[in-house]
Amino acid sequence: MNKPTILRLIKYLSISFLSLVIAAIVLGGGVFFYYVSKAPSLSESKLVATTSSKIYDNKNQLIADLGSERRVNAQANDIPTDLVKAIVSIEDHRFFDHRGIDTIRILGAFLRNLQSNSLQGGSTLTQQLIKLTYFSTSTSDQTISRKAQEAWLAIQLEQKATKQEILTYYINKVYMSNGNYGMQTAAQNYYGKDLNNLSLPQLALLAGMPQAPNQYDPYSHPEAAQDRRNLVLSEMKNQGYISAEQYEKAVNTPITDGLQSLKSASNYPAYMDNYLKEVINQVEEETGYNLLTTGMDVYTNVDQEAQKHLWDIYNTDEYVAYPDDELQVASTIVDVSNGKVIAQLGARHQSSNVSFGINQAVETNRDWGSTMKPITDYAPALEYGVYDSTATIVHDEPYNYPGTDTPVYNWDRGYFGNITLQYALQQSRNVPAVETLNKVGLNRAKTFLNGLGIDYPSLHYSNAISSNTTESDKKYGASSEKMAAAYAAFANGGTYYKPMYIHKVVFSDGSEKEFSNVGTRAMKETTAYMMTDMMKTVLVYGIGRGAYLPWLPQAGKTGTSNYTDEEIEKYIKNTGYVAPDEMFVGYTRKYAMAVWTGYSNRLTPLVGDGLTVAAKVYRSMMTYLSEGSNPEDWNMPDGIYRNGQFVFQNGARPTWTETTSQSSSTESSSTSAESSASLAPATSPDASTNGQNQVPNAPGANQNPAPQTPQTPQVQQQPQQ
């Protein structure tokens, strides 16, 4: 190929490439202007508007008007320079150099995302203000169209407003926790001062809060607040806004410095605080909008009368005799037909000063003990054909955690021998539970639990009788919210519904979004019925008699966590029966309720009557919910039949035939087994309601045991309270 030909080829290729570049620019520009043509109009009224979101109950009655509580706007000349420096240091280093969008920041974020395989934003402070005013923060809404509109409005705002005005809009717009909107409002209510009278560390705290105001609340989360404040100060030092001496003095200032006692900021009933927190979380999860900074109408699923009654059960002695004011209760109630959360409360004697603080009802940091047995062990065993009747013989005899020499103990350190599956669950025996999980297999049990909304980073054999996890993340383990939703699947015939606090949101532009809960099949109807039939006996003959109501068809399970021998010796020093947590999870045809009881300090033990509170709270609430409703019993589905007090799947093996493991994966490697053993409690007692030291009359070890009915007929008529 001669030189002229090569030159012509290069020329044509260059022209083609240039043409493609021009075409791409034109096309990109066309797409951009198409997107921005649909952007909302920039309006100062929206930038300075007082955000107000109205929350309604399930009868469309107004509960709360969030956003109208507290707002004192700061004027531009009232904003101290140190606050400006703190905000731009943590939010937008190049704020004073860009015109709405920061190309350098966008490219930097792009490169960091490539290097770390993560997602970091390149939004400027101006874009954040636009987002707060007009758009959703949901990850699903981070579209090219939305980002183009956001950038366009940011550029427009920079042309119309000064940097000082933009900062003022932002400072007055952000939510600052505890019902405070805007940093001037927070300054007055947290410190009793205006912004221009605050110290450097106080200003740094306020500057760092808007990204996660409840998480960085200095009242409810002082450690996280201090870490965030110190990060702001570090960025200020790195940007040259403060000296090393100023930095050292500020970071060594206690986070509580200058904080005054909070005054109640709520214009809603105190009994609604926990529920409203979950409403806020679910609105943002489902829509991407923070209702505290975006005006909207939210229609919730709360039954306000039921919520108030639950509050009264917690905070008066009219329904339950509490041993002291410090004992805590957390519970959730769901409609079993659709997963709607009708009531939820996370603590007794809650402070009225802190808004949307910790809600123990959704926390997974406490062990739910034997309430895990139905969903981790026995339901999967029936679902996967490991057992085929409630009369199946299981073994309550000396047994080690699979793959280890660590023994599994029952609460009484005794054994009943060969007993029926129903009796094992009724009397909450630990050995049959662990053996059953081994037969099911860890993988299948984990899959089954996932179908009920419960997950673990990894499942261990100790999880047969415990909800403890190796990670503290709330998405793992159990809470009252998760347990109520899981047991609801037993009540409704096997369908799992995600717990829902909201059913409709109406946005400020008049558009709306409804939330329906279709549900997913978690187990067969036969499995759900057989589990219900067994758990009925827990309330009539078993250790859940404190929750028994003779007129109400219901089922449920108790749970008790335990201390290690070391904890008892070092901290508890109590020779009697003690426990850190006592639970009850139960349900009727209409409602499922999960109740946790314990002390905020886990090392303060439940003793005596304190161990009966969970069942009594459940009984009191279910009495309220079920009275006058003509409660119905469950109907037996096709595929099973009854023989005496037991239920059998069609084609079930004779009860005298010993079942063997049908799991292809017992997963008893030394590694996983050792991990299981490390989580395994020395005992998992679960006889906390009645007769702690009485061994029931258990079936013997004969080949064909007769159905066993405890020789206490009066218990069925008059259960212990």
Please give the positions annotated as active site: 91, 370
Q: In 10 A of CB 174, how many CB atoms?
A: 24
Beta bridge partners of residue 419, listed in sequence order: 394
Given a contact cutoff of 8 angstroms between Cβ atoms, the answer to whether 215 and 252 are in contact is: no
Please list the residues that pair with 513 across neighbouring strands: 505
Q: Are 422 and 685 in contact (CB under 8 A)?
A: no
d(CA 541, CA 422): 11
Distance CA 531, CA 375 (A): 9
What DSSP element (H or E) covers 426?
helix 421-426
Distance, in Å, from the CA atom of 541 to the CA atom of 544, rounded to the nearest integer, reads 8
**396 strand-pairing partners:** 417
* Whether 474 contacts 421, CB under 8 Å: no
Residue 387 near residue 481, CB atoms below 8 Å: no
Distance CA 211, CA 235 (A): 16
The answer to whether 515 and 614 have CB atoms below 8 angstroms apart is no
SS (H, E, C) 254-311: CCCCCCCCCCCCCCCCHHHHHHHHHHHHHHHHHHCCCCCCCCEEEEECCCHHHHHHHH
Query: Which tokens go with 233?
Result: 């100060």
Q: Cβ distance 613 to 575 under 8 Å?
A: no
Is there a contact between 417 and 394 (Cβ–Cβ < 8 Å)? no
If phi > 0 it is left, if psi is from -120 to 50 it is alpha, else beta; for residue 562 that is beta
CA neighbours closer than 13 Å in the CB half-sphere of residue 563: 24
Q: Residue 308: how many CA atoms within 13 Å on its side-chain side? A: 7
- Cα dihedral: 587, 588, 591, 597 (round 10): -30
710 in helix, strand or coil? coil
In whole angstroms, what is the distance from residue 686 CA to residue 682 CA?
A: 13
Task: For residue 506, give the nearest of 339, 293, 289, 344 by alpha carbon.
Answer: 289
Enter the tokens of residue 281: 């979380």
Three-state secondary structure call for residue 590: coil
Strand partners, 629: none
According to DSSP, the residues that pair with 557 across neighbouring strands are: 585
Q: How do strand 180-181 and strand 70-71 relate by DSSP bridges?
A: parallel
Phi first, then psi: what are they for 55, rounded to 5°?
-115, 130
Query: What is the maximal distance between C-alpha atoms in the chain?
Result: 110
Q: Which tokens go with 531?
A: 């589990």
Dist CA 548 CA 550 (whole Å):
6
CA distances from 472 to 365, 457, 475, 534 (A): 7, 10, 8, 32
In this structure, what token pair is assigned to residue 533?
Answer: 């039939």
Helices and strands: H and E segment counts in the chain? 24, 20
Partners of residue 340 on adjacent β-strands: 500
Please compute Rg for the chain using Cα positions: 30
Scored b (16 or more CB within 10 A) or e, 567-590 reads bbeeebeeeebbbbbbbbbbbbbb
Helix (H) or strand (E) holding 335: strand 328-335
